[in-house]
Chain A
Amino acid sequence: MDSRFAKQVASLLVGLGIVVGFVLWQPRRANAIPAFSRQYGTSCTTCHVDFPKLNDFGKAFKDAGFKFPADDETYVKVQPVMLGSPAQKELWPKTVWPGTVPGIPQIGLRMNTFFQALGKSRNNLGFATNPTAPYIPSTDFATGYFSIFTAGNFGSDIAFWVDDDISVAGANANGSLGDGYLKFVNLGRFAKLPKDSLGLRIGQFELDLPFTQARSYNISGYDIYTQPNIGTPQQFVNNNFSMDAAGQGVEVSGGHSYGGYHYSLAVVNQNTSGTNSTGTSNVSPANGVAFGSDSNFKDLYGRLAYRFNLERDKASRNDVQAAGPMGPRDHTSLRLGSYVFYGRSVQRILNTSGTTLLGTDREPFYRVGGDFDFHYRQFNLYGLYMYARDHDVLPVINGTGALTGFVRGTPATFGGGFIQADYLALPWLMTIMRWDAVNSPNDQANGSGQYRATRNRFTPGAQFLIHANIKTSFEYQVQPQYVVLLPGQSRPTIFRGNTAVAALEWVY
């Protein structure tokens, strides 16, 4: 059966992905918006601790639709261009509702470059056992992302964001759109709801994850976010969805990320193939409007969190930033949250020759998790746990090759998460320690090479701000154990492919 073959191929690819991934780190997107610095005449550190990590004021700025939370117009150094006088509002609906565009193009650019060093075992999973696999040198330089991003506000509480990788790894125009959305902030005012209790985001966006992957300040991403769910050969599960994938759809949200409640509910295209539909040629074909995504079903994502600001002083507790004896600072706070993603994994069932569609298998799946985020002065401890489950719906094919029905199999599951501690030793020096863990017995069974069902990765690191917009970062990744039978050896070799990575990044 072709679908089963496809699943096995996918399993192999995932295994290979893990194998290669342990030496070839994936640099993350990291967006800070220097255009806001130009517009407001203020430093990156007004909104960022260690760009792109946001401080409490940066979170409030984002919540407000890329505006200062109050009296925004008094801070703008480059005045916006009026698209109609405010007096035009009185003439509506006999005129277009007036808005604004930023007085300067809100464009920021970002470039980064990397250097990595690896140990002796770096080729154990690739070149040592497969002569055609790429050879991995002990040290290597790599060109990262050259990205453009633009964000701002059109007035009337309408915010926008677009970021795109113009060039990746030195190759031109092979990047992709990150987020591209329009957000209607504070829509609840029309229904006289509390301020900021309802907003609407439309377009392509990273899900409202507890900790962003798309705008992470770490060199390496969170392992659990990139984990697909591929069943064993005895299962019929082949779900390449990962939590870090951008979704296309709509999202309603409300509350604040710097204190109190926050929620979001999103409806997005299904993406169990692991390919964004915007990356295909299906968008806006010449013969009409027809878009392509994985299935008719729309996936659902929801998040609910509450942040307790633990300041003793009430006014300080409720303000955007806490008032300290040495000046404003981030709140001492604890945020607790949970999230759930529900979707359906669709697989086409073909006959053995792959020429006839026998039917479609729709397998419900979910990802559910909880998270915490604790801040105390310069110390930040946060973590997340996620459990994943895909129903295994096995097609029943009779002796003549016809699909006669489905039976329930053993669900494919995995779990894991991460805990990270950041300490801002100096305003320009942040030290990091992270533990990633992914428990996926299926990956082990599918021949990924991992020694145990759980892959543990420990990542100490440090980041240095040369200027507020130039940063150098370092990570040493203590990788999970892998096992391989090397040529000419009778006993398997167990090893860790530890990796040291340095990055230099600048935005302007």
Chain B
Amino acid sequence: MQRKTVWVVVFAMAASLAMFAGDMKGKVGGVSGNSVVWIEATAGKTYPASDKHIVIDQKGLMFHPHINVIQVGTTVEFLNSDNVAHNVFWSSISGNKKLGHNLGTWPKGEKKPFKFDQPGVAPLLCNVHPEMAAYIIISPTPYFAETDASGNFTISGVPDGSYSVTAWHEGAKQQSKPVTVAGSGNVDFTLTK
């Protein structure tokens, strides 16, 4: 009798979870390689800013990793592991040049932190090595994912509701689609250059 009660409780909890939060799955096509997908902020809802720190390295005249997706509020520490001088700058965030910034120069082994508190896409560059590039995608919500090489993605723990979902790929036109999550959701994108 007791065992039956436990199973009922577990089933009820699982059912309630499935009802209020689920996975959003999909695929980004039309492009090859990794893309980024995120859920845009919904009017009237607030999302606590992240207090995470991540590191982006400059090594061998390259940024590592090349694509970075973070939530608004995340602090990025830019490390120079090269024995040559580098700098990091971005001329805009999603085209807004007022959000451009230049971090200057710092020597090998040192980090320079920057807190990203505006959503958008920041293309990172180095002003002495123009071939160096990386991207930071700053998601306004904690619901984001980077696709695998085939374009598949899963965003977990998305509360039920209606959202606008955006997909981004380097060099392609950004695309947004409305999606409703009710236990789960699915959305596919076909991006074009």
Contact = CB atoms under 8 A, between A and B. Distances in A.
Interface of A: 40-43, 45-46, 57, 68-71, 74-75, 77, 315, 319-321, 323-329, 468
Given A43-B129, A46-B129, A57-B128, A74 B85 contact: no
Contact of B85 (A77, A320, A325): A320
Nearest to A316: B105
Given A324-B104, A325-B104, A327-B126, A42 B131 contact: yes
B104 A323 contact: yes
B87 A328 contact: yes
Interface string B100-122: 00101111000000000000000
Contacts of A69: 83-84
B127 interface: yes
Contacts of B27: none
Contact of A326 (B61, B82, B106, B127): B127
Contacts of A75: 60-61, 82, 84
B131 A327 contact: no
12 contacts: A41-B131, A46-B128, A68-B83, A69-B84, A75-B82, A323-B85, A326-B89, A326-B102, A327-B86, A327-B87, A328-B105, A329-B128
Contact of A40 (B61, B105, B128, B130): B61
B130 A468 contact: yes
Contacts of B25: none
A327 B86 CA distance: 7
Given A71-B83, A321-B85, A328 B128 contact: yes
A327 B58 CA distance: 14
B103 to A, nearest CB: 8
A326 B85 CA distance: 12
A68 B84 CA distance: 8
A43 B85 CA distance: 15
B59 interface: yes
A43 B131 contact: yes
Interface of B: 59-62, 82-87, 89, 102, 104-107, 126-131
A324 B86 CA distance: 11
Contacts of A325: 102, 104-105
B59 to A, nearest CB: 7
A468 B128 CA distance: 12
B61 A327 contact: no
A403 B43 CA distance: 107
A128 to B, nearest CB: 51
Contact of B107 (A40, A46, A71, A315): A315
Contacts of B82: 71, 74-75
A293 to B, nearest CB: 42
A45 B130 contact: yes
Contacts of A321: 84-85, 128
Contacts of A46: 61, 128-129
Contacts of A57: 84-85, 128
A41 B83 CA distance: 16
Given A57-B128, A323-B104, A323-B105, A328 B86 contact: yes
Contacts of B127: 326-328
A328 to B, nearest CB: 4
Contact of A328 (B59, B61, B85, B130): B85
A320 B84 contact: yes
Contacts of A71: 82-83
Which of A319, A323, A327 has the most chain B CB atoms inside 10 A of its CB? A327
A409 to B, nearest CB: 57
B149 to A, nearest CB: 21
A327 B104 contact: yes
Contacts of B129: 42-43, 46
B85 A319 contact: yes
Given A315-B107, A323-B104, A43 B130 contact: yes
Contacts of A68: 83-84
B87 A74 contact: no
B114 to A, nearest CB: 15
A42 B61 CA distance: 7
A75 B127 CA distance: 17
Nearest to B86: A328
B81 to A, nearest CB: 9
B127 to A, nearest CB: 4
Given A70-B83, A74-B59, 12 more contacts: A40-B61, A41-B131, A43-B130, A46-B129, A71-B83, A74-B83, A323-B107, A324-B105, A325-B102, A327-B105, A328-B86, A328-B87
A320 B86 CA distance: 12
Question: 5 closest A-B pairs (Cβ-Cβ)?
Answer: A327-B87, A328-B85, A323-B105, A70-B83, A327-B127
Contacts of B131: 41-43
Contacts of B83: 68-71, 74
A10 B159 CA distance: 93
A327 B89 contact: yes
B62 to A, nearest CB: 8
Contacts of A41: 61-62, 131
A45 B127 CA distance: 10
A72 to B, nearest CB: 9
B155 to A, nearest CB: 34
Contact of B102 (A74, A327, A329): A327
A46 B61 CA distance: 10
A327 B84 contact: no
Contacts of A43: 129-131
